[in-house]
Amino acid sequence: MPTPVLTIEPQNELKFKVDFSGLFEQGYTTYMRLINPTTDTVLFKIKTTAPKKYCVRPNSGVLEPNSKVDIAITPQPVFVDPNDKHKHKFMVQSVIAPEGKTNIDQVWKETSPDQLMDYKLKCVFETPRGTNLNDAGDVPAQNEVSKKRVAVADDAKTPSKALSFPKSENAESDLQKATSEVILLREEESKLRHENLQLKEELLRLRQAGGDGRGAARRHSYGPEKQAQAAMMPWLATAVAMALLGIIIGKFLM
């Protein structure tokens, strides 16, 4: 297998943030930089062992000589299974573009596996306290987190004691239900964002089609209604989030 020509930053691992329950931190994005220090044009692809848990943009492309590109890796609002935490890995595949070849897809199809240059990185998950989830045991249970918060409020001897989590079984059950609702909300919001992104990418591809007759026909089918739907996606996600969070907060205040 050829020696990789690309320089990867970071070199060995990608770090992601998770909360104490093992849920990916919402809105946190990790970046990976690819650098082509050579005088050749290089094609690249980004692959992962957990494709449903990460959104990678761009996940493929072309690097001109002496150029670089930043890859944004955004985790989805899902749990990191303690049994699978060592299985999350990323791989950068690259190949030097043949001279005179302009069809990138055809180049990848014609390239044999022994011609590909692979570069692998492992994933590291960090909790809010900076501990490494890969080295630690299972994440603390939700009730243990609640007890710690209550103890902090008691030590402070401030009105925050009234806001500490109740120790009754019913209160813990309500907290678990609220947590589940928040998780469902995040998953729904993630789906809406994905649909919005897919609509935008489809619109971009149609615009790039230029004067192609078939591209024009597809742009026609993708009319104002689809564009309006894409524009409304972020507002719809925000409205759903605010409504559900209002219901959850209301449960705690009652």
Please say if the pLDDT value at position 108 is more than 90.
Answer: yes
Residue of 194, 153, 181 whose CA lies nearest to 252: 181
The torsion angles phi and psi of 197, rounded to 5 degrees, stand at: -65, -40
The terminus-to-terminus CA distance of the chain in angstroms comes to 64
The predicted structure's pLDDT at residue 148: 47
Distances in whole angstroms, Cα of residue 14 to Cα of each of 65, 74, 208: 25, 11, 33
pLDDT digits (tens, 9 = 90+) for 46-85: 999 999 999 999 999 999 999 999 999 999 988 888 788 7
The torsion angles phi and psi of 74, rounded to 5 degrees, stand at: -110, 120
The strand pairing partners of 61, in sequence order, are 44
Q: Selecting from 2.60.120.10, 3.30.60.50, 3.40.50.720, 2.60.40.10, what CATH number does the domain 7-126 have?
A: 2.60.40.10
Q: How many CA atoms lie within 13 A of 131 on its CB side?
A: 12
pLDDT digits (tens, 9 = 90+) for 200-253: 777 877 877 765 555 444 444 445 555 555 566 666 667 666 776 666 666 555
